[in-house]
Amino acid sequence: MLKNKLKSAVLSASTLTVLSAGAVAAQEACTNYSVSDGDTLATISIAAYGTSNYQPIFNANRDNITNPNNLKPGLILALPCNDGSLPNGQSAREVIANEEARNADNQSTNIYEAPIRMVLGDDWAPFADESMNGGGMMARLASTALRRGGNNREHSISFVDDWASHLSTLLPLGAFDVSLGWYMPDCSNKSYEWGENTTMRCTEFDVTVPVYDSVIGFFTLAESEYANAQSFEDFHGATICRTEGWFTFDLEQVGLVSPNISMMQPRTSVECMDAVLNGTADVVSFEVELAADILAQMGVASGEIVENAYLNNILSLHFFAHKSNPHARKYVALLNRGLIEMRESGEWYAIVSDTLREANKRTISN
């Protein structure tokens, strides 16, 4: 029962059966599309939305996709509408408004409880960005979770751009209670040598249920020898760039560690992308949403930097609390209750799709 509640389900098998009757051949937004041989989520997204950022399609069909680049012909995909809603469904804003109204009478207790202090970094659109509505996806999901599932907890959200300090300093010292948006390794997998950061995540933190599943892509210059790598071993000898303080466990799992590769870790993701452009790095690896946002910000010509069509990782973001915090488990439980209710009501998908709509609109305007 609990496992079913935690699944990031948007379309059930029965829903897909109904959709199949109305599936269309054209790749158009706000329709149900039947996959053809050779389709990938990226090619479908370009045809339907004019962007290679296929994460919105992935979100809407998560339970039926294991590899965005290997789709089974005949699979029925719901292609979200431009407002983020699913075909024939309520708009994201309608769902959010209905849930806010339904929970308007949620009363807090008379017992004083200190506000939960949450922290995230800036300039990580669409996940965390002070210029976005509510501070971006992670902030919106966390704030809403603390008002759902019977919760009504006061909280604050701060932006500290030194991401590396969140887990290593700010949470252990008690400056904040929860850090929003970190990938968690499979701590039961000990088939590879854990790095220091992986060990820290697996031993020092209590974490929530998965908040969001991201596709982590590998991006290179179009003419790079690594653009068509078909195995992770093909990346051996490359210089791979990922932002300072970010996770590396997914690279460790597939042998992309020294001396097989050289790792470059600048302070910002823009610096990573610039390193690929100027040839000081061969490959940059992070979320497909973030890549689309950065390329638009930098004004990089279409097709100059491409996503590898064969290799990616799908990882889950979580909210982290340090085990030294006496209320860590309580805060995780509060967030879990809210997140589970949001999944069941559809509000989780509504917030995610509304945030991606905002980010995509900004990308196109740039």
Query: 277: Cβ–Cβ under 8 A, 6 or more apart, which residues?
Result: 221, 300, 304, 305
Domain membership of residue 56 (yes or no) is yes
Q: Which residue has the tokens 């097709």?
A: 303
Query: 185: Cβ–Cβ under 8 A, 6 or more apart, which residues?
Result: 194, 198, 201, 202, 247, 249, 250, 253
**What pLDDT, on a 0 to 100 scale, did the predictor assign at position 9?**
35
Helix (H, G, I), strand (E, B) or coil at 220: strand
Domain membership of residue 197 (yes or no) is no
Report d(CA 171, CA 244) in Å as an integer: 18
In tens, the pLDDT along 265-281 reads 998 899 999 999 999 99
Q: How confident is the model at residue 139 (pLDDT cuts 50, 70, 90)?
A: very high
Count of alpha carbons within 13 Å of 297, Cβ hemisphere only?
Answer: 15
Min mean pLDDT across 15-24, 26-35, 348-357 is at: 15-24
CATH number at residue 45: 3.10.350
Q: How confident is the model at residue 126 (pLDDT cuts 50, 70, 90)?
A: confident
Contact 335, 116 (CB under 8 A): no
Contact 139, 110 (CB under 8 A): no
Domain membership of residue 63 (yes or no) is yes
H helix runs in 214-327, sequence order = 249-253, 269-278, 288-298
Short-list 74, 76, 77, CA closest to 36: 74
Using a pLDDT cut of 70, give the percent of the chain over it.
90
Using a pLDDT cut of 90, give the percent of the chain over it.
64
Report d(CA 242, CA 266) in Å as an integer: 7
Cis peptide before 126 (omega within 30 of 0): yes
* pLDDT (average), residues 29-36: 93
Q: Which residue has the tokens 């590899």?
A: 67
**What pLDDT, on a 0 to 100 scale, did the predictor assign at position 327?**
97
In tens, the pLDDT along 304-334 reads 999 998 999 999 999 999 999 999 999 999 9
Is it the case that residue 208 has pLDDT exceeding 90? yes
Residue 81 CB neighbour total at 10 angstroms:
18
Domain membership of residue 25 (yes or no) is yes
Query: 14: Cβ–Cβ under 8 A, 6 or more apart, which residues?
Result: none
Contact 347, 140 (CB under 8 A): no
Q: How confident is the model at residue 52 (pLDDT cuts 50, 70, 90)?
A: confident
* pLDDT (average), residues 9-38: 62
Is it the case that residue 15 has pLDDT exceeding 70? no
| pTM as predicted | 0.82
> What are the tokens at 1?
């029962």
Please state the domain count of the chain. Answer: 1
Domain membership of residue 69 (yes or no) is yes
Q: Which residue has the tokens 């098998």?
A: 13
Contact 316, 133 (CB under 8 A): no
Is it the case that residue 1 has pLDDT exceeding 50? no
**What pLDDT, on a 0 to 100 scale, did the predictor assign at position 3?**
35
**What pLDDT, on a 0 to 100 scale, did the predictor assign at position 110?**
54
Domain membership of residue 171 (yes or no) is no
Please tell me which residue, 219 or 246, carries the higher pLDDT value: 219
Please tell me which residue, 105 or 57, carries the higher pLDDT value: 57
Domain membership of residue 154 (yes or no) is no
Q: How confident is the model at residue 73 (pLDDT cuts 50, 70, 90)?
A: very high
Residue range(s) defining the domain that contains residue 49: 2-79
In tens, the pLDDT along 88-110 reads 777 888 888 888 888 877 655 55
**What pLDDT, on a 0 to 100 scale, did the predictor assign at position 104?**
78
* The length of the chain, given as a count of residues: 366
Report d(CA 294, CA 268) in Å as an integer: 11
Domain membership of residue 42 (yes or no) is yes
> What does the radius of gyration of the chain's CA atoms come to, in whole angstroms?
20
